[in-house]
Structure 1
Amino acid sequence: MKLTIINEPLLEFGTGTHVCPRTGIEHMGVYDKRDELRRTELRIGVVGRGEGVDLLDEWLERCRDGIERKQGSNLLNLFRGFGGINQDYGFLTRLINSPQYTRTLKKSEITKVVGLPSRSERVERAVELYYEQIRFLAENRSVDVIVCVMPNEMFDSVTSANDTDEEEGGELEHNFRRILKAKCMHLGTPLQLVREKTMVITKHTGDQQDAATKAWNFCTALYYKGNRTIPWRLVEDTAKLRSCYIGIGFYKSRDGETVSSSLAQVFDEFGHGIILRGTPVSIDKKNRHPYLDAEQAYRLLTDALEEYDRALAHMPARIVVHKSSHFRDSEREGFLRALDEKGIGSKDFVSITDTDIRLFGDKDYPPKRGTLLSLSEEEGILYTRGTVDFYKTYPGMYVPSPLRVTVYEQDSSLETLCEEILGLTKMNWNNTQMDGRLPITLECAKKIGDIMKYVGSGEKPQVSYSFYM
């Protein structure tokens, strides 16, 4: 056994590098500032009731002006103030919202939805209510992203069941956010959902994030979704082979009868990626775990590599496959056949799962993020969440759970693979805190599966992660 601490991976921004997304954007600007095609204005469509639209108007104005950091805390790097979003600073983009880009929901319609007897009915009617207005904006207004403002009572009514819903356990799964995103996918405009109460800032926020942190996450998500470019990327290591990272996950159908594979692909450290949908897979009768047979594995990886070739006009020199379960012999056989046909010689098949093993840190803090306990050359325990030196604390509420990293086909060292995993945890543009638990490959695959189950088999899903986050 060997214990090592992996250094915090650096991110690249407009004029330099830093470990922290917020600090990097604030001092060096977004990475894609050098892109001539980057948009310096984002048109924000809005759907919500009158009060919710007013709250969003006020919130966007606060985001433009900037928001002071959380008061009463000496953790300056963790609770960084938000300097604003405009064309001269940070994001180098201005947000434009207007009554012309706004569709207001009638109070009477909201009341009807809340009053429906079962949650499934409330979800379906709420989706239709928003969809009608989203479609109008997507088809008749030049908007880059649409913000859906949820009234508090409607949110509560579609996320919780009441006494008349006892029979719903056997029905199809109903999830408002996932169904709405799936239904609107063909319109080609990403959505951002926000609750009214999250935009009401008081001195006593309770279990909510502080206002500045909310602004960082909200504006970064809007920027990524509306601009279709990236605010930061991992620093390129020119000494390494150009790699393609692939994440494979599984999701159940809405009726729970079938399991399909979903694939999230991150092309490289630039963050370029696409989404693919797999096919129904087999279930192990002993442990009920899903898996790919050799032909399914071959076809899935072949499709991914062909998409890579279409996008970048060349094949990668190295493939890294991340999977949220162990690799079976049939899966390895199919993946190796696809790589052999495409002439790709360097590969690493990496299983990333949970573990019951825990390490003890110094004093009252958990182990540092980046702590790696190597059990062998092929297996280790990696802390992707833990004490962060830059924050001078552990920024979590619960005891962090490390990941078990197991390598099945290995051309790289375990430490190198864990360095890559740690870097890929920072490539989620839905969160500006720098200590994500899962690499974006698997985080994305999970999000895709949550929504893909609502996309009809005859419908073509969007290939950008912005439609799923």
Structure 2
Amino acid sequence: MKFPEQSLVVDHLHEPALEFAFGERSPHPKDGLFLYGPHSKGKKSREIRVGVIGTTDGIAHFRNWARSIMQVVAVPPPGKAEKKDRLHLANFPGLEETFGISFDPDEISTLSLQLADIDRATRIENLNEAVDKVARLYIDRVRKHLKNEEGAVDIWVLVLPEIVYERCRPGSKRTGLAMEAGEFGRRQKAKASLPLLAGVIDQSNEDIFNDVPDFHRRIKAEFLAIAPTQLVRETTLAPNAFLNKAGYPVRKTQDAATLVWNLATGLYYKTQPKPPWRLGSVRPGVCYIGMVYKSLPDDPNGHACCAAQMFLNEGDGVVFRGANGPWKTGDHEFHLKKAAAKNLLKLVLATYKEMHGEPPKELFIHGQTYFNDEEWRAFCEAAPKSTNVVGVRIRTTGGETKLFRDGDYPVLRGTAMLLDDHVAYLWTTGYVPQLDTYIGPETPNPLHITVMRSKYERPAIRVVLEDIMGLTKINYNSCNFNDGLPVTVRFARMVGDVLTMGSAKGQEKQPFKFYV
């Protein structure tokens, strides 16, 4: 396709369809699940095994919430400032009716923690040690459960008191708290009071001080070798149990129906062999990879961890951990050395072949940087001759590019401005006719898409854009109509955050559901 000079070619891509039970299709996950059920729906309801860790109150909040989702959860009536036709909201029909899974809230495995123990641990002066102590309260209870060979669990739900969220993240202020020295602080104080040559252990090089002090990352990394997890705050499950002086919930949450749609989708995805929906129209033999890079915290050599997220038409994904190394180059972008690039791609291709019996016909590598000559040659050499490797750069944009519909209204989702054969702007957010609304706070910004390189013939830019539109609809951590980013890019930072934690070492290949 050749475009005339100084012309702007604007196109529109149709909304990708999703496939549900009986091969039925719908563009909206909620409609498809309500009408047909998940695409691998069984003849009988499946009982899932849920484990819950939290305080006595937290466990009670989860049980009450779980009882509520066994029946219809209605969208609340519109407020004075809201539109009456809120088509992006939907009643939740009930867990078994929607997903074909169930569990008895009174028969779940429960592990109780004392709020006083959590509170005491969060007050430890050194934040790294505080986060480690709090995480250990949860992790050790689960490991004890496993050691005693008690009932198997498909998913662990960690119900968090608000103090964990407030005090166990990077940069947590913890002002006004009565702090405690902790083991590290006490040993450091003892060391300072002893002669210089005394044999006192210096803990500054312990693993916990190499990790980012983040409870969420630590739990996800630790549970990579155990089971999928769902972290949820007590105030999310029971907002009306936590009121301020004016009688309103202390924090604003999603409406009850939307919250259930999202959490129930996660429960299904993390406990079943296949995700609740898949892309309806994907070319056979196509594999998508999202490249992940994350700088190692406090690494004196400036090294980074690399990984690859593989996604197929089934929608489900696998995360492959690559080597740590000096991947951040002089251009301030991440690029792999030849051996590391080859080894990482071989891991991906071997898994694809195990699943399908043959290598992919097309392998799309999505990244947020360009691909240099060394890593690109390695990618091409690692792939068999029958596989066309295509490198696509996907970048978010700010306010430099705006497009409007009828002068004032947001453009339709799926609008594309084609700059040439290989470069385009794509609006993955915008007005959605099916919902009769644009869900967003401001004028939507496009993604900048560039088909950088290809082993053989480069695919048409429209094919690449259609693929990216589809990949914005397979976020199984929620039940939204779409995301603004394709799944290959959407979770790159989250995956990198988990992989750089010390607890994640040795996990070369794990299902994507463990990370979200």
Same fold? TM cut 0.5: yes
**What value does the CA root-mean-square deviation take over the aligned residues?**
2.5
Residue equivalent to 1:14: 21
* Equivalent of residue 208 in structure 1, options 253, 262, 266: 253
Inter-CA distance 385–39: structure 2 relative to 1 (3 Å threshold): same
SS for the counterpart of 2:69 is helix
Question: Equivalents in 1 of 2:452, 2:258: separation in Å?
Answer: 39
CA 1:22–1:457 in structure 2 vs 1: closer, same or farther (change >3 Å)?
closer
Go from structure 1 to structure 2 and tell me whether the alpha carbon gap of 1:32 and 1:462 turns closer, same or farther (over 3 Å shift): same
Give the one of 437, 453, 466 matched to 2:484.
Answer: 437
- Which one-letter code corresponds to 2:53 in the other structure? V
Q: Hey, what's the Cα distance between the residues in 2 that align with 1:185 and 1:286? A: 33
User: 1:176 corresponds to which residue?
Assistant: 215
Q: Does 1:350 align with 2:412?
A: no
CA change 1:171–1:90 in 2 (3 A) is closer
State the structure with more CA Rg.
2
Contact 2:393/2:449, CA 8 A, preserved across alignment = yes
Q: Distance in 1 between matches of 2:306 and 2:126?
A: 31
Q: Write the deviation string for residues 163-212 of structure 1: whole angstroms up to 9, x where unpaired.
A: 589x99x975211011112112222x111000000112459676421111
In structure 2, which of residues 169, 173, 189 is the aligned counterpart of residue 161 of structure 1? 173
1:192 is matched with which residue? Answer: 230
Q: Is the 8 A contact 1:425 1:435 kept in 2?
A: yes
Tell me the alpha carbon deviations over residues 233-252 of structure 1, each in whole angstroms, 9 at most, x when there is no partner: 00134xx3421111111011
Once the two structures are superposed, what CA deviation does each residue of 1:291-348 show, in whole Å capped at 9, x if it has no partner? 1123322222122111211222211111111112112122221112122xx1224332
What is the match of residue 227 of structure 1? 272
Residue number in structure 1 paired with 2:340: 296
**Distance across 1 between alignment mates of 2:408 and 2:355:** 48
For residues 42-441 of structure 1, what are the structure 2 equivalents within 5 Å? 42-72=48-78, 73-86=83-96, 89-98=97-106, 101-138=109-146, 139-159=149-169, 160-162=172-174, 172-187=211-226, 189-202=227-240, 207-237=252-282, 240-256=283-299, 257-266=302-311, 268-283=312-327, 285-339=329-383, 342-356=384-398, 357-362=400-405, 364-410=408-454, 411-441=458-488
TM-score, with normalisation over the residues of structure 1?
A: 0.91
Deviation at residue 364 of structure 1 after TM alignment: 4.4
Identity within the alignment, % = 26
Counterpart AA for 2:285: R
CA distance in 2, matches of 1:325, 1:74: 44
- Conserved in 1, the CA contact under 8 Å of 2:315 and 2:474? yes
Distance of 1:94 and 1:137 partners within structure 2: 23
Amino acid paired to 1:162: R
Distance 1:3 1:468, change over 3 A: same
| Match of residue 24, structure 1, among 16, 20, 32 | 32
Question: What do residues 255-311 of structure 1 show as CA deviations (whole Å, max 9, x unaligned)?
Answer: 243112111001x21124321101124345543222112332222212211121122
Structure 1 residue identity aligned to 2:286: S
Deviation for aligned residue 1:368: 1.6
Residues 364 and 70 of structure 1, relative CA distance in 2, 3 Å threshold: farther
C-alpha separation between the residues in 2 aligned to 1:243 and 1:201? 44
Q: Summarize the Cα distance change of 1:39–1:125 in structure 2 as closer, same or farther, 3 Å threshold.
A: farther
Counterpart residue type for residue 471 of structure 2: L
* Deviation larger for 436-445 or 242-251: 436-445
On the 8 A contact 2:37/2:99 being kept in 1, the answer is yes
Q: Distance in 1 between matches of 2:295 and 2:27?
A: 37
Residue 20 of structure 2 contacts residue 33 of structure 2 at CA under 8 Å; is this kept in 1?
yes
Q: Which residue does 1:454 correspond to in 2?
A: 501
Q: 1:90 to 1:458 in 2, by over 3 A?
A: closer
CA distance in 2, matches of 1:457, 1:98: 33
Contact between 1:55 and 1:200, CA under 8 Å: does it hold in 2?
yes
Q: 2: distance between equivalents of 1:372 and 1:434?
A: 19
Paired with 2:156 and 2:514, the residues of 1 have a C-alpha distance of 11
Query: CA offset at residue 435 of structure 1?
Result: 2.0
Would the aligned equivalents of 2:89 and 2:258 in 1 still touch at CA under 8 Å? yes
In structure 2, C-alpha distance between the alignment counterparts of 1:236 and 1:321, rounded to whole Å: 19
User: Whole-Å Cα distance in 1 between the matches of residues 272 and 287 of structure 2?
Assistant: 23
Kindly state the Cα deviation for residue 365 of structure 1 after the two structures are TM-superposed. 3.4
Distance 1:443 1:455, change over 3 A: farther
